[in-house]
Amino acid sequence: DTGVSQDPRHKITKRGQNVTFRCDPISEHNRLYWYRQTLGQGPEFLTYFQNEAQLEKSRLLSDRFSAERPKGSFSTLEIQRTEQGDSAMYLCASSFGGPSSYNEQFFGPGTRLTVL
Amino acid sequence: GQQVMQIPQYQHVQEGEDFTTYCNSSTTLSNIQWYKQRPGGHPVFLIQLVKSGEVKKQKRLTFQFGEAKKNSSLHITATQTTDVGTYFCAGRPASGSRLTFGEGTQLTVNP
């Protein structure tokens, strides 16, 4: 399967713990996005990478959230000191595009986080 | 910040009836994309509209982009049970790279 993959698919943690999620995009895609989705809502933008550069970050993200894409391939999203409000589905998406062209995004299956 | 609103939030139809969902942005968009998310699944891209007044068709689905590039609609003719899911519009502003998703319209089809 050459689609976007995410690991783990499910994560249950206790409040205050740190968690890290991984996303492997489609190999030739230069852009990678992280979203958060809660029940009954659309995906909410968190951050965006073009190759290894983090070009945009939502103001909704607190300092507890950090994302990296060190070699312009896979990406990790870390949440420190988790809170119950962080419980959600975390979606990764990738796409390919030039400087001013934005194409369809391919989504991964998501990581469902539950904070107890 | 940019807001994208969708109506209705829910739509229940009998198989064979038509369905329409509407999307409105608070700002002018450079383009708009539509995605479908099946229950328990992830969003899957349907189409992208770029030009003012653009209309695109995919079999029973018709997508429109408003003249002012601030609104869009998706119309499904003669719904089938396979159309069940939540339909999201996602708008990209004239300057910027992020997509802002609407809250979606959840479609159920009674056979």
CB contact under 8 A, A105 and B33: yes
| B6 vs A56: which has the higher pLDDT | B6
Q: Is it the case that residue A101 has pLDDT exceeding 90?
A: no
* Shortest Cα distance, chain A CAs vs residue B31, angstroms: 9
Average model confidence (pLDDT) across chain A: 93
**Which residue among B31, B96, B101 places its CB closest to the CB of A42?**
B101
Give yes or no for a contact between A81 and A16, defined as CB atoms under 8 angstroms apart: yes
For B54-77, what is the mean pLDDT? 97
Banded pLDDT at B94 (limits 50, 70, 90): confident
**Helix (H/G/I), strand (E/B), else coil: A42:** coil
pLDDT band at A72 (very low <50, low <70, confident <90, very high): confident
Sort out which chain B residues have CB atoms less than 8 A from A102's CB and list them.
Answer: 31, 92, 97
Is residue B1 scored above 80 in pLDDT? Answer: no
What part of B 9-38 touches A (C-beta under 8 Å)?
A: 31, 33
Q: Look at residue A102 and tell me whether its pLDDT is greater than 80.
A: no
Q: In terms of pLDDT, which residue wins out, A1 or B59?
A: B59
User: What residues contact B68, with CB distance under 8 A and at least 6 apart?
Assistant: B28, B52
Distance between CA A36 and CA B36 in Å, rounded? 16
Tell me how far apart the alpha carbons of residues B72 and A55 are, in angstroms, rounded to a whole number.
28
- Check: CB of residue B43 under 8 Å from CB of residue B37: yes
Q: What is the pLDDT of residue A1?
A: 54
